[in-house]
Amino acid sequence: MKFYIKTFGCQMNEHDSEIIAGVLQQAGYRPCDELDAADIIVVNTCCIRESAENKIWGYIGNLKNIKYKRPGVIIAMLGCMTQQTTISAALKRYGSHIDIVLGTYQQHRLPEYITRAMIGNGQIVDISEDNRDFPDELPCVRTSGVTAQVNISYGCNNFCSYCIVPYVRGRERSRSLNAILSEIREAAAAGSKEIMLLGQNVNSYGKDLGEAGQNDAPDFATVLKAACAVPGIKRVRYMSSHPRDFSNALVDEISKLPQVRSYYHLPLQSGCDKTLKAMNRGYDTARYAAIIDHIREQTPEAAVTTDIIVGFPGETEDDFQATLDFIARCRFDAAYTFLYSPRSGTPAAKMADQVPLQVKKERLQRLTALQNQISLEKNQTYIGQIVHVLVEGPSKNNPEYLTGRTESNKIVILRGGMELVNQIVAVKITGAKTWHLEAL
Ligand code: 5AD
Ligand code: SF4
């Protein structure tokens, strides 16, 4: 029997899908690339913003047709969106064609539930939180031979007031350093040159490990150093960081690691102190600016990117202007920008002064225009430079070319044959766009 997995959402979800694929293959199912040929359809869901959920409702609506034509097909919905009790209740009513509904703690039990669904006794729902085991021993089928994604922690303790993640992925649990390292060694032995360390807040790694009252637990710097020491690993990336837990000492450690030091992603969320406080972020713009300044002193060549939310409740025109000014000051290489989306159950959803959608959209446009200008200027400084690109594969937009990334994580479109995939090649940059460089 063949399975098809559709993944929505972040890198953490992409990696969960690699584990789901591993678990299904271990149970004897085979992967397939076509929805119409699949006997089992798995939808791995996201709920970070309303737009993600709307897309998913649309997608599962379309699956009704498939179930109608092929009633034997098993449809399973997993992930962050289904972990919410409101959603699993709604699915009982509007998603009777969904056979299995699992939350974020029970994904590894999918094979067992598939067997039960085949016998057929109505929709199976398991969003219980009783199993918080780490998938240390779970198989994983990597979709990329170049970059191996490795979980270092699960869940989040921060409770940023807009964010639903702590509610659907639970409290932070760090994985043991041994489990992390053996996975990295395995990936390196299989040929991966890049490691992506995953956690909702990688910087607080290890705080829950070690003996009570003792200071013997590994921290994030330990993980980075150990990952870099694995033979064959040329690049180490991580996602996501939290500025509150990003110390100057960590920047100093990172700047000693050539595989890591050229790229930082440090979500700012807002450049207005009042908004940062209402977001419960635990830092202000002065503290954030100090980190950026320290990074630039230590590694002037490093690229720095960020995340920004516009239209958080109570954000006035002046508050938004403060964000624009701060962005102009920090001069990020790129910013991932989002319209604030109220998430049910989070404190911000209940705050007064929700910003009208039109105002949010207009602010997003102004922010994008400013950031695009800065991104382009930053990218133009690469023209004429020789950069080292880890080649990932054919370019999606133009399969005649290859795509890869510089040490500073900039996308480069380059010429060459498939034999260059998973190789690091030196190329001269000939052109610069807002979101990528060209070596053509
Ligand atoms: N609305 C808009 N953006 C959000 N993010 C998280 N929650 C929300 C929300 N409710 C953004 C943050 C985070 C990124 C992954 O998604 O910027 O860093
Ligand atoms: Fe959400 Fe904040 Fe945790 Fe990131 S750090 S997952 S934004 S609560």
CATH topology of domain 386-439: OB fold (Dihydrolipoamide Acetyltransferase, E2P) (2.40.50)
Domain ranges of the chain: 2-126, 142-261, 265-380, 386-439
Q: Ligand 2 centroid to 165 CA: how many Å?
A: 6
User: What is 142-261's CATH topology?
Assistant: Transcription Regulator spoIIAA (3.30.750)
Higher pLDDT residue, 300 or 130?
300
Give the residue-averaged pLDDT of 44-57: 96
CA distance 9 to 104: 13
The answer to the question of whether 32 is labelled as a binding residue is no
The dihedral of CA 221, 222, 226, 229: what is its sign?
positive
Contact at 8 Å (CB) between 44 and 67? no
Instruction: Please calculate the CA angle 206-212-217 and round it to the nearest 5 degrees.
Output: 30
Range 265-380: architecture per CATH: 2-Layer Sandwich (3.30)
d(CA 428, CA 436): 14
CATH topology of domain 2-126: Rossmann fold (3.40.50)
Q: Which atom of ligand 2 is nearest to the CA of 157?
A: 3
* Cβ 361 vs Cβ 339: under 8 Å: yes
Ligand 1, residues at Cβ distance < 6 Å: 48-49, 162-163, 267, 269, 307, 309, 338, 340-341, 343
Closest ligand 1 atom, residue 10 Cα: 15
Q: What is the pLDDT of residues 117-165, one digit of tens each?
A: 999 878 999 999 876 655 677 889 999 999 999 999 999 999 999 999 9
Cis bond before residue 128 (omega within 30° of 0): no
CA of 338 to the centre of ligand 1 (A): 7
Residue 333: its pLDDT value, please?
98
Please tell me the distance from the alpha carbon of residue 361 to that of residue 348, in angstroms, as a whole number. 19
Confidence of residue 228 (pLDDT cuts 50, 70, 90): very high
Q: Which two tokens stand for residue 172?
A: 């932070």
Q: Which ligand is nearest to the CA of 167?
A: 2
Write out pLDDT tens, residues 176-213: 999 999 999 999 999 999 999 999 999 999 999 877 66
- Mean predicted lDDT score pLDDT of the chain: 95
Residue where the block lists tokens 């450690």: 253
Q: Which residues contact 350 (CB under 8 A, 6 or more apart)?
A: none
Please report, rounded to a whole number, the percentage of residues in the chain having pLDDT higher than 90. 91
pLDDT at position 239 over 70: yes
Nearest CA residue ID for atom 7, ligand 1: 163
d(CA 31, CA 178): 30
The predicted model gives 34-44 an average pLDDT of 97
Instruction: Evaluate if residue 381 carries a pLDDT over 70.
Output: yes
Residue 156 assigned ligand-binding role: yes
Backbone angles phi, psi at 388, to 5 degrees: -105, 115
Q: Which two tokens stand for residue 325?
A: 């000014």
Q: Which of 268, 239, 247, 274 is nearest to 327 (CA)?
A: 268
**Does 142-261 match 265-380 in CATH topology?**
yes
CA proximity to 119, closest of 133, 96, 106, 100: 100
Which residue lies with its CA nearest to atom 2 of ligand 2?
A: 160
Residue 214: its pLDDT value, please? 66
In the reported structure, the alpha carbon of residue 383 is separated from the centroid of ligand 2 by a whole-number distance in angstroms of 36
Q: Where are the alpha helices (DSSP H) in 331-425?
A: 357-380
* Residue type for position 207: K
Closest CA to 11 of 145, 149, 155: 149
